Structure 1
Amino acid sequence: MTTVPELDRDKLFAARLHAARARPYLATALFALHVVPSRRVPTMAVDRHWRCYVSPAFVARTPEEELAAVWVHEVSHLLRDHHGRSDRFARERGLSGPAERLRMNIAADCEINDDAYGDGLVRPEGAFVPADLSLPEGELMEEYLTRFRLGPLTKQLAWLDCGSGADGLERDWETGPDGAHGLSPQERDAVRFRVAQGISGRPGDAPEGWQRWAEEAFQAPQQWRELLGAAVRSAASGAGADDYSYGRPARRSAAVPGAVLPSLRRRPPRVVVIIDTSGSVSDAELGSALLEVAAISRAVGGRRDLVSVLCCDAAAGTVHPLCRAEGIPLTGGGGTDLRTGFAEALRTGPRPDVIVALTDGQTPWPDRRPPCRTVVGLFPRPRTARSWDEEDPDYVPDPPPDWARVVEIGSAPGGR
């Protein structure tokens, strides 16, 4: 009887350290993965919740330098959102079944493997590159999917299984959304953001495919983000009240011997950001909202102590001071009524000078102009889209009121 080995964690984690040294820009993602030993996976696999399932037998028979490359391969599926992209491709093309998901896994591997090896990482045994399937290099998963079908060239890949993190199809050996040690959608976006920052900061260290990913995943401020920042700065410029301060005496003190006169100083504005966490706002849009919070903080001089965040669906949540954007709990998921969020923001002490609402716009708005400047960042929706309502399926939400400065997030300039 063959004895199944226990997982050699020392060897596995040494390989992860090797991977982080070879690809330092991926280190945050590599160490965010939680390891789950599993004898049901052929090699290593990931689920969409950032758990890494590892075969003890595979670790035992594989050299450490090859394991390092497998670590990089698996985390690449998650960073490149192959599970979400596979789901979207399947919906758009009407595809279903394990065979189509295997084809997606193969296409995703082609996207990763064309520039994954070398520079400190060896190509693992059994790993394939696009040329092995008579495919060109440098294309995306979706492009590869239009170029091949399962057949003689892919027959030897029937064993391939990188988990739901690669093709979106959950396995019965995965622990699912309610299992332990998974990352929340916001935590996953925070990891991607840090990796993209690392690549953008030292672009010469990453292959062209990763540079392209970083540019497309979290691009430098675009026109709409510049508009949002400008709108916040404009609102803040007229919001921070002037006050006298003895911290820096007025220049005219020299003209009044024996007296110290205060100077007129502009108080930095306080900003409350209301994030719409209703069911009509996607996880991707919530992740985008966290990026906007960071951009808003920069727009008011980087004073995070002056920026607070409030989550709101049909009811307002707790106002959180901004310490780290990825640490903000984005709770909600019900209906939408941002009027409660505005009311809660105005009850916050001290009262804000600027309120920024990040929403899809499917909400009633306050009847009165708030006693502070207001900026609305709208997540894009098709112009013909209608909001579902229990009593009126043809209900179309009111646009933001005229007293708000409106910027449509993700679009070209044109906000009010």
Structure 2
Amino acid sequence: MTAAAPGGLDLEKLFAARLYAARARPYLATALFALHTVESRWVPTMAVDRHWRCYVSPGFVDSASVEDLAGVWVHEVSHLLRDHHGRSERVARERGLSGPGERLRMNIAADCEINDDAFGDGLARPAGAVTPESLHLPRGELMEEYLTRFRLGPRTQDLAWLDCGSGADGREREWDLGPDGAHGLSAQERDAVRFRVAQGIKARPGKSPRGWRRWAEEAFHPPQPWRELLGAAVRSAASGPGVGEDYTYGRPSRRAACLPGVVLPSLRRRPPRVSVVIDTSGSVSDAELGSALLEVSAISRAVGGRRDLISVVSCDSAARIAHPLCRAEGIRLTGGGGTDLRSGFAAALRAQPRPDVVVVLTDGQTPWPDARPPCRTVVGLFSRQGTDSSWDENDPDYVPDAPPGWARVVEIGPAAPGGR
């Protein structure tokens, strides 16, 4: 390979730096070599777009050392692997952020997420790299968290030049070749690269920083928005035909005019009653029980905030008393033995008035009722990723029954450990 003509992009130096980066971070090699380089005099240093093109300033390559260029290679490909463009767009929609100033803040926050543990161990930190410490921020947080911790001001006034491209903050640039430009990766190719990188990290977990190990776990098991799914399932069940409907004489029926002298009741809709059955058996962890109490509060919001219409039953092999919901934190979850949620269903359905919706929060290690309950049922199933959910110390051949087909099932993922 020969260097470019004077004034052009020094590809020999640039690719030597990429090889240096791949040797220092071998688990990123697939991603580094998937990037297609594009010479651009618009970018201050190097920048990426969402289609995995890397735009490179010839002047920057001439002025930087191979070691610094290697660090920038790793930095830019990290934006793409961690989906900073997609995450920035979601944050912008959710928080109403717009304009170049807010996009610069997103770029800075994304850089802080990457740079807190990207360098060292054979990879030099490039000159001018933004770190959490340089902004007096804590290490180990996500871009979304950093965004809440700083505003543009004196500490960031020297960062106005920063521009890692649309691949970092989601805002299209003048130099972007766009989805129809040459050498872009398709969505399937991008996913394949991420999967290969995650495979490499999981194969040798001791060789990568903690942030990358967490990212690899999520790449293999992408978190579902289970709280939104659970809330939507409860709302759907609570608003179904027949739910929360009853006859009342408080307002005469419109059909009463057809029968003079006869008072007919009208069908009125009332707020639905919800009974929450929480699995408190020994196979459910304290963290999951804490998560269950949080879900009780979320369920109350899903049905309009009427806590007086929600009751809670704790159940292992036997059901306890149904508690009316005042404060989720004040509910005592007793149990710790085996699991038989059939008694929990029975206790919930014995309540007067009878619930319109039963929500069950469990790990699934239970027999289920043979008959469909006379109300809607939603099952929140605690995730058992990475464990053998069929294990039973008394019966090694035990395989738990899947939730019945008449229940709407939502898998409840593990609590986020501050991963990336």
Q: TM-score, normalised by structure 1?
A: 0.53
Question: 1:27 corresponds to which residue?
Answer: 29
Q: Matches of 1:171 and 1:407 in 2, distance apart?
A: 48
Kept after mapping to 2: 8 A contact 1:36/1:51: yes
Q: Matches of 1:48 and 1:24 in 2, distance apart?
A: 22
| Structural mapping, 1:13-412, within 5 Å | 13-219=15-221, 411-412=411-412
Structure 1 pair 68–218 and aligned structure 2 pair: CA distance change class (3 A): same
Identity %: 76
Q: Matches of 1:116 and 1:70 in 2, distance apart?
A: 10
SS of alignment partner, residue 103 of structure 1:
helix
Q: Matches of 2:74 and 2:90 in 1, distance apart?
A: 24
Kept after mapping to 2: 8 A contact 1:48/1:83: yes
SS of alignment partner, residue 411 of structure 1:
strand
Kept after mapping to 1: 8 A contact 2:91/2:144: yes
The CA deviation string for residues 328-353 of structure 1, in whole angstroms up to 9 with x for no partner, is xxxxxxxxxxxxxxxxxxxxxxxxxx
Residue 216 (structure 1) shift? 1.6
Structure 1 pair 410–7 and aligned structure 2 pair: CA distance change class (3 A): farther
Structure 1 pair 98–407 and aligned structure 2 pair: CA distance change class (3 A): farther
Question: 2:305 corresponds to which residue?
Answer: none
Could you tell me which amino acid in structure 1 is paired with residue 147 of structure 2? L
Q: Matches of 1:220 and 1:59 in 2, distance apart?
A: 36
Q: Matches of 1:407 and 1:16 in 2, distance apart?
A: 53
Structure 1 pair 157–216 and aligned structure 2 pair: CA distance change class (3 A): same
Q: Matches of 1:162 and 1:221 in 2, distance apart?
A: 27
Kept after mapping to 2: 8 A contact 1:4/1:57: no
Residue 138 (structure 1) shift? 0.5
Structure 1 pair 201–160 and aligned structure 2 pair: CA distance change class (3 A): same
Structure 1 pair 36–85 and aligned structure 2 pair: CA distance change class (3 A): same
Q: Matches of 1:127 and 1:90 in 2, distance apart?
A: 24
The CA deviation string for residues 33-86 of structure 1, in whole angstroms up to 9 with x for no partner, is 000000010000000000000000000010001100000000000000000000
Kept after mapping to 1: 8 A contact 2:9/2:61: yes
Structure 1 pair 107–407 and aligned structure 2 pair: CA distance change class (3 A): farther
Residue 221 (structure 1) shift? 12
- Which sections of structure 2, spanning at least 5 residues, go unmatched? 227-377, 379-404, 414-420
Could you tell me which amino acid in structure 2 is paired with residue 36 of structure 1? V
Kept after mapping to 2: 8 A contact 1:5/1:60: no
Could you tell me which amino acid in structure 2 is paired with residue 44 of structure 1? M
Kept after mapping to 2: 8 A contact 1:45/1:162: yes
Could you tell me which amino acid in structure 1 is paired with residue 411 of structure 2? S
Residue 206 (structure 1) shift? 0.3
Larger Rg: 2
Could you tell me which amino acid in structure 1 is paired with residue 185 of structure 2? L
Structure 1 pair 212–407 and aligned structure 2 pair: CA distance change class (3 A): farther
The CA deviation string for residues 136-174 of structure 1, in whole angstroms up to 9 with x for no partner, is 100000000000000000000000000000000000111
Kept after mapping to 2: 8 A contact 1:46/1:165: yes
Structure 1 pair 136–4 and aligned structure 2 pair: CA distance change class (3 A): farther
Q: Matches of 1:172 and 1:220 in 2, distance apart?
A: 33
Q: Matches of 1:408 and 1:191 in 2, distance apart?
A: 34
Q: Matches of 2:28 and 2:78 in 1, distance apart?
A: 9
Q: Matches of 1:216 and 1:56 in 2, distance apart?
A: 36
Could you tell me which amino acid in structure 2 is paired with residue 140 of structure 1? L
Could you tell me which amino acid in structure 2 is paired with residue 32 of structure 1? A
Residue 409 (structure 1) shift? 9.9
Could you tell me which amino acid in structure 2 is paired with residue 47 of structure 1? D
The CA deviation string for residues 308-332 of structure 1, in whole angstroms up to 9 with x for no partner, is xxxxxxxxxxxxxxxxxxxxxxxxx
Q: Matches of 1:407 and 1:181 in 2, distance apart?
A: 47
Could you tell me which amino acid in structure 2 is paired with residue 411 of structure 1? E
SS of alignment partner, residue 411 of structure 2:
coil
Q: Matches of 1:68 and 1:13 in 2, distance apart?
A: 9
Q: Matches of 2:406 and 2:27 in 1, distance apart?
A: 36
Residue 133 (structure 1) shift? 0.4
Structure 1 pair 12–138 and aligned structure 2 pair: CA distance change class (3 A): same
Residue 4 (structure 1) shift? 7.5
Could you tell me which amino acid in structure 2 is paired with residue 137 of structure 1? R
Question: 1:241 corresponds to which residue?
Answer: none
SS of alignment partner, residue 161 of structure 2:
coil
Return structure 1 stretches of 4+ with deviation > 2 angstroms.
219-222, 405-413
Could you tell me which amino acid in structure 2 is paired with residue 7 of structure 1? L
Structure 1 pair 188–54 and aligned structure 2 pair: CA distance change class (3 A): same
Q: Matches of 2:108 and 2:211 in 1, distance apart?
A: 17
Structure 1 pair 5–92 and aligned structure 2 pair: CA distance change class (3 A): same
SS of alignment partner, residue 47 of structure 2:
strand
Question: 1:12 corresponds to which residue?
Answer: 14
Q: Matches of 1:166 and 1:211 in 2, distance apart?
A: 21
Could you tell me which amino acid in structure 2 is paired with residue 18 of structure 1? Y
Could you tell me which amino acid in structure 1 is paired with residue 56 of structure 2? V
Kept after mapping to 1: 8 A contact 2:108/2:130: no
Residue 128 (structure 1) shift? 2.0
